C-alpha cells in the first residue's frame, strides 16, 4: 500500500506567489527561460534553470549552473521571498484549465515505495536528464520539481479533500499568464493529516508516475549517493497525487531530423507496407482514433492508418507509440533508442500541431508525426504488468507550477 507523509514545504509569501511560480523546468529550453524571466527577479526559473543568470555560452549542465541555483535559492530565503513551513503539512493543489478542474494532494512519497514498485513506472529514463536533476538536487539541497502521480480514485479521499476545500480559505489563488488557475490550501490539522495518511495506506495499493520519471529516479539515486550521510529528507520526494477520475492525457508527438537516406517518395512507398497512406495537403491531421497518425513532410500532411496485422495485439504492441516506434522510427528511420538518439525530439500536445509544422518548415527537422493519445487505463494496465512504453508516450495538462511548494532534503 502507498506510504505518503506530510512535509515542511519551502514556499513563497502569498503576495509573491504568482510572480514566483514558474512553468516546469523541463518544458522550457534555456532561450525560452531567459525570455520568461525578463523583468521578473522573483521567477523560480532563477533556481530551476539558473543558466538564465549566467553568460549565454555557459554550459547548462556544468557545475557552475547548479552552484548558481544553490546561491539563488539561498538568496530567495534570505530575502524572505521563500520561507519554510513550521510543521509538516499536506497541501491541496487545484488547477483549472479551459473550465476543467483537477485537484491533487501534495505530499512526500517515499523512495522505498519507488524502489519497491509501489510507485509504478511506465517508461525508461534518459541518463543525461537523470544526471541533470541529480546534480541539481545534491548541489541545491532542494527537490524543486514535482512528480505527478496518479491513483485509482477513492471516494473517501475525494470527500475528505473536497470538504477541506469547502471550509478553508486557500493560501494561494491566482491565474497564471497561460490562463490556468492555481489554488493551494494548507492541511495543517493533525487529525486530518493522520486520516489522509491512513486512507492512502489502506485504500491505495499503488500510485503511478504520470509525469516525472526522471525526477523520481533522480531522487532515489541522490539518496543512494548520499549513503549514510543522507538525512531523513532524502528518504522522500516531492509528489502530487491525482485521482484517476480527474485526469486527461494529451498527445505526445515526434519530430525527426532526417529520412535516414530515403527520398521522400521512397520513404512513403516503404510506409505503405504497414500503413494506408493518404495525402491531404495542407489540412492538419489530428488523429481522432486509435492507429491513426498524421505525418508532415515537405510542407504537406498525410493521414496514416496502421494496417490490421502489422502490429501486435498485446498491451504494449497495440499502443500507437509502439506502432510508430517499431514500424517507422526503428524499421525505416534507424532510430533504435529514442532516449539517446539525437535525431529525434518530442513535442507535447499542449504546443499544438502548428509546432510540428514550425519545426519542419524551419529546416531544423525533416519530418513530424502526430499521434492519438494513450488512455489512462492503458497506462495503469501497462505499469501493473511491469512493462514500459516507449519514451515520452504521455503528456498531461495542466502542469503544476514549480516554486509554490519545494522540498528541502537537508535540514
Q: Could you tell me which residues are beta bridge partners of residue 303?
A: 278, 294
Burial 81-105 (b: 16+ CB within 10 A, else e): bbeebeeebbbbbbbbbeeeebbbb
Compute CA distances 115 → 147, 217, 357, whole Å.
Answer: 15, 9, 40
> Is 393 exposed, middle or buried, given 0-12, 13-18 or 19+ CB atoms closer than 10 A?
buried
If you average pLDDT over residues 9-32, what whole number do you get? 93
pLDDT digits (tens, 9 = 90+) for 42-58: 999 999 999 999 988 88
Segment of 67-71, 245-249, 334-338 carrying the highest mean pLDDT: 67-71
pLDDT digits (tens, 9 = 90+) for 271-327: 999 999 999 999 999 999 999 999 999 999 999 999 998 888 887 888 899 999 999
The DSSP output letter for 119 is E
Is residue 101 a contact partner of residue 94, using CB atoms and an 8 Å limit? yes
Q: pTM here?
A: 0.85
Secondary structure of residue 282 in the 3-state scheme? coil
Q: What is the DSSP string of 133-161?
A: HHHHHHHH-EE-S-EEEEE---HHHHHHH
pLDDT level of residue 381 (50, 70, 90 thresholds): confident
pLDDT the model gives residue 128? 82
Dihedral angle of Cα 347, 47, 410, 405, to the nearest 10 degrees: -70
Examine the pLDDT at 146 and tell me if it is beyond 80.
Answer: yes
Cα–Cα distance measured from residue 37 to residue 374, given in angstroms and rounded to the nearest whole number: 34
pLDDT the model gives residue 90? 98
Cα–Cα distance measured from residue 290 to residue 374, given in angstroms and rounded to the nearest whole number: 9
pLDDT digits (tens, 9 = 90+) for 198-238: 999 999 999 999 888 899 999 999 998 887 656 788 899 99
pLDDT, the chain, mean: 93
Is residue 400 a contact partner of residue 148, using CB atoms and an 8 Å limit? yes
Amino acid at each position: 500500500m502507498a506510504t505518503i507523509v506530510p512535509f515542511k514545504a519551502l514556499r513563497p509569501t502569498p503576495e509573491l506567489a504568482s510572480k514566483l511560480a514558474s512553468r516546469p523546468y523541463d518544458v522550457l529550453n534555456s532561450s525560452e527561460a531567459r525570455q520568461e524571466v525578463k523583468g521578473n527577479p522573483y521567477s523560480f526559473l532563477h533556481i530551476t534553470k539558473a543558466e538564465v543568470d549566467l553568460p549565454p555560452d555557459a554550459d547548462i549542465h556544468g557545475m557552475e549552473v547548479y552552484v548558481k541555483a544553490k546561491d539563488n535559492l539561498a538568496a530567495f530565503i534570505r530575502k524572505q521571498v521563500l520561507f519554510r513551513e513550521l510543521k509538516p503539512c499536506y497541501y491541496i493543489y487545484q488547477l483549472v484549465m479551459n473550465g476543467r478542474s483537477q485537484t491533487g494532494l501534495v505530499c512526500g512519497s517515499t523512495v522505498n515505495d519507488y524502489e519497491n514498485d509501489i510507485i509504478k513506472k511506465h517508461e525508461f529514463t534518459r541518463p543525461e536528464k537523470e544526471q541533470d536533476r541529480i546534480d541539481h538536487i545534491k548541489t541545491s539541497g532542494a527537490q524543486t520539481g514535482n512528480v505527478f502521480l496518479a491513483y485509482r480514485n477513492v471516494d473517501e479521499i475525494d470527500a475528505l479533500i473536497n470538504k477541506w476545500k469547502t471550509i478553508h480559505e486557500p493560501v494561494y489563488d491566482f491565474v497564471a499568464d497561460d490562463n490556468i488557475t492555481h489554488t493551494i490550501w494548507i492541511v495543517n490539522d493533525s487529525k486530518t493529516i493522520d486520516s489522509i495518511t491512513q486512507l492512502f495506506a489502506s485504500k491505495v495499493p499503488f500510485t503511478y508516475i504520470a509525469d516525472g520519471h526522471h525526477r523520481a529516479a533522480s531522487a532515489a539515486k541522490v539518496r543512494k549517493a548520499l549513503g549514510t550521510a543522507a538525512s531523513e529528507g532524502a528518504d522522500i520526494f516531492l509528489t502530487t497525487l491525482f485521482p484517476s477520475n480527474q485526469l486527461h492525457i494529451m498527445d505526445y508527438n515526434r519530430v525527426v531530423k532526417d529520412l535516414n537516406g530515403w527520398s521522400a517518395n521512397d520513404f512513403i512507398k516503404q510506409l505503405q507496407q504497414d500503413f494506408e497512406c493518404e495525402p491531404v495537403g495542407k489540412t492538419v491531421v489530428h488523429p481522432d482514433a486509435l492507429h491513426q497518425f498524421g505525418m508532415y513532410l515537405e510542407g504537406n500532411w498525410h493521414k496514416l492508418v496502421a494496417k490490421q496485422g502489422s502490429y501486435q495485439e498485446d498491451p504494449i504492441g497495440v499502443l500507437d507509440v509502439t506502432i510508430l516506434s517499431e514500424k517507422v522510427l526503428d524499421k525505416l528511420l534507424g532510430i533504435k533508442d529514442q532516449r539517446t538518439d539525437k535525431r529525434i525530439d518530442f513535442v507535447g500536445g499542449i504546443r499544438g500541431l502548428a509546432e510540428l509544422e514550425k519545426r519542419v518548415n524551419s529546416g531544423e527537422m525533416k519530418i513530424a508525426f502526430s499521434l492519438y493519445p494513450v488512455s489512462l487505463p492503458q497506462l495503469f494496465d501497462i505499469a501493473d504488468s511491469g512493462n514500459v512504453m516507449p519514451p515520452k508516450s504521455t503528456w498531461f495538462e495542466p502542469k503544476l507550477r514549480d516554486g509554490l511548494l519545494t522540498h528541502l532534503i537537508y535540514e
